[in-house]
Amino acid sequence: MGRYGYDGNGLPSQIDQTEVHMTFVHPSFGQIDDSRTIIFDTTLRDGEQSPGFSMNLEEKLRMAEALADLGVDVIEAGFPVASKGDFESVSEIARIVRGAVVCALARSGGRNDIQAAGEAIAHAERGRIHNFISTSPLHMKYKLRMEPETVLEIITEGNKAARNLTDDVEWSAEDGSRTEPDFLCRCVEAAIKAGATTINIPDTVGYATPEDMEKIFAMLKARVPGADSVIFSAHNHNDLGLGVANTLASLRGGARQIECTINGIGERAGNAALEEIVMAIRTRNDQYPYTNRIVTEKLLRLSRMLATITGFDVQPNKAIVGRNAFAHESGIHQDGILKNAATYEIMTPESVGWSKTSLVMGKHSGRAAFRDKLVALGYGEMADDRLNDAFARFKDLADRKKVVYDEDIVALVDDEARDHARIRFHGLEVSSGSKRPAEATLEIEVDGEMIEASATGNGPVDAAFHAIRSAFPHDARLALYSVGAVTEGTDAQARTTVRLEEDGRLVDGQGADADTVVSAVRAYLHALNKLLVKRTRAEPEALEA
């Protein structure tokens, strides 16, 4: 893999970039070439730890099946020991999803963790246990309160226990980028000897630079006995905005598995974004001569599906999947694009799933065309009852708007595409004015029971929110209320975001409707349903990786 010299910190000071393509036999993938990059998606585990994000079982299954269809190699489905709900979701994904390895997270020192992970993946076509423990001086002293030798013992015990349950075992050095090089080498060697087949070095707090990550992987491959018998993996957080850059640098250093999430969601500032990494490799294959299985034309679909499920839209200028990613307003740019798209576009919009136009539907469009459109927009196949509800809302909107854009369709069906297991909106009547308090009468379905409630308030939205509290009493605090327009014009739909806080848990909900107050109620109910999911989950210690 090249020749290395080492500086005073034990890191390579010079790297020989001579390409040497090797083959490696992996328990889940068989014989793979050194140019092959394994895509490990942790949207359902690390991504869901984002404040305000939560998914129920049906939503996780939709995402998992779509990720497998995208071409993801490994799907990290969750942390089974965290709660009964997490165990059930990992187990169900393992039972249903085909075409990808289903991975369960566990702490190296948690015997119940590893046993739970093994049971959760028992029915997987291909299953993996991913165990981890902190290795940096800071984490060992203040978080684990352990001596280095104890950590080494736990690494050995944890990986042996995992290997007894599955042939595919991954080990992660939490806060690996801030771990002393010599100790990191000892930890990796111990994990390999104990049976780990993938070694992950996370930049857990997003502190590292690309130069750091390249050197770390090059060092481990050069110094650790048995390094040529495992796959090295990179998991980079985005606290300094370097997640993608650090991941690409890790590939240069010898990593061949990339851990990432759709839309870059994750703890704090998020993870390295799958769509950005994949398109960087595809567009600059001269610099990153690696292959993967991702069907890039499906990237936008997955991005929109995740935004629909979580209620979090990507920012307009987000690379690859933001709505402005291929927009050109400057006259000079527009002139160049008209003459030759390559003047200002380094990839085609179609290569990541964008269509040439968003103006496609109207009041004369039929149910079949509407179903096809939803699939194209990333919703997948909806159940007939949901489809009927969404289509009825679409026809109602089409009667009120002259032009219906893709953005309108996405906004109006979001509420129907989400699985509101406990609370569903049915109707709202509001009366308000400048001479008397506003009054709202709300009709919702709670656990299959229809409930009607009325309340007054300082304005129609305030009255509607009081009505929700009356119909479904709760102690959550309204932490954010924000309204925007989906498209332009006075007939545009309102898109509302509501954030609720309860016992330190934050959840965000979104709703859309041509009526601003109705959109606010839909957003509140979406957030409330997500909060109910959050209530069922435990938060085990040392969950971050």
Between CA 310 and CA 53 the distance in angstroms is 6
Average pLDDT value for residue range 301-315 = 83
Residue 322 has pLDDT above 90, yes or no: no
Structure tokens at 146: 């352990």
The larger pLDDT score, comparing residue 246 to residue 488, is at 246
Residue 147 has pLDDT above 50, yes or no: yes
Nearest 5°: phi and psi at 324? -100, 5
Between CA 436 and CA 430 the distance in angstroms is 13
Please tell me whether residue 271 adopts helix, strand or coil conformation. Answer: strand
Predicted local distance difference test score (pLDDT) of residue 228: 94
Residue 375 has pLDDT above 50, yes or no: yes
pLDDT digits (tens, 9 = 90+) for 88-106: 999 999 999 999 999 999 9
Q: By percentage, how much of the chain surpasses pLDDT 90? A: 59
Element at 151 (helix H, strand E): helix 148-163
pLDDT digits (tens, 9 = 90+) for 31-85: 888 899 999 999 999 988 777 677 888 889 999 999 999 999 999 999 999 989 8
Predicted local distance difference test score (pLDDT) of residue 531: 85
Between CA 396 and CA 401 the distance in angstroms is 9
Predicted local distance difference test score (pLDDT) of residue 22: 61
The larger pLDDT score, comparing residue 543 to residue 131, is at 131
Q: How confident is the model at residue 438 (pLDDT cuts 50, 70, 90)?
A: very high
Contact assessment for residue 129 and residue 104, using Cβ atoms and an 8 Å cutoff? yes
Average pLDDT value for residue range 481-502 = 84
Average pLDDT value for residue range 233-249 = 98
Between CA 526 and CA 509 the distance in angstroms is 5
Average pLDDT value for residue range 112-140 = 97
Predicted local distance difference test score (pLDDT) of residue 16: 44
Predicted local distance difference test score (pLDDT) of residue 402: 67
Q: How confident is the model at residue 414 (pLDDT cuts 50, 70, 90)?
A: low
What's the whole-model pTM score? Answer: 0.81
Residue recorded with tokens 């898109």: 495
Average pLDDT value for residue range 423-438 = 92
Cα 482–Cα 412–Cα 85 angle in degrees, nearest 5 = 80
Predicted local distance difference test score (pLDDT) of residue 344: 53
Cβ-count burial of 200 within 10 angstroms (0-12 exposed, 13-18 middle, 19+ buried)? buried
Mean pLDDT across the chain, nearest whole number? 87
Residue 20 has pLDDT above 80, yes or no: no
Residue 534 has pLDDT above 80, yes or no: no
- Lowest mean per-residue pLDDT among 121-125, 232-236, 282-286, 327-331: 327-331
Contact assessment for residue 495 and residue 487, using Cβ atoms and an 8 Å cutoff? no
pLDDT digits (tens, 9 = 90+) for 201-221: 999 999 999 999 999 999 999
Contact assessment for residue 15 and residue 214, using Cβ atoms and an 8 Å cutoff? yes
- Lowest mean per-residue pLDDT among 8-22, 47-61, 381-395: 8-22
Predicted local distance difference test score (pLDDT) of residue 336: 54
**Taking the CA of residue 368 as centre, how many other CA atoms within 13 Å lie in the half-sphere pointing to its CB?**
0
Parallel, antiparallel or unpaired: strands 231-236 and 257-260? parallel
DSSP string, 273-331: BHHHHHHHHHHTTTTS--B----GGGHHHHHHHHHHHHS-PPPTT-TTTSTTTT---SH
Contact assessment for residue 352 and residue 278, using Cβ atoms and an 8 Å cutoff? no
Contact assessment for residue 510 and residue 497, using Cβ atoms and an 8 Å cutoff? yes
Handedness of CA 405, 407, 412, 413 (dihedral sign): positive
Contact assessment for residue 247 and residue 271, using Cβ atoms and an 8 Å cutoff? no
Query: What pairs with residue 259 in β-bridges?
Result: 40, 235
The larger pLDDT score, comparing residue 293 to residue 376, is at 293
Contact assessment for residue 273 and residue 244, using Cβ atoms and an 8 Å cutoff? yes
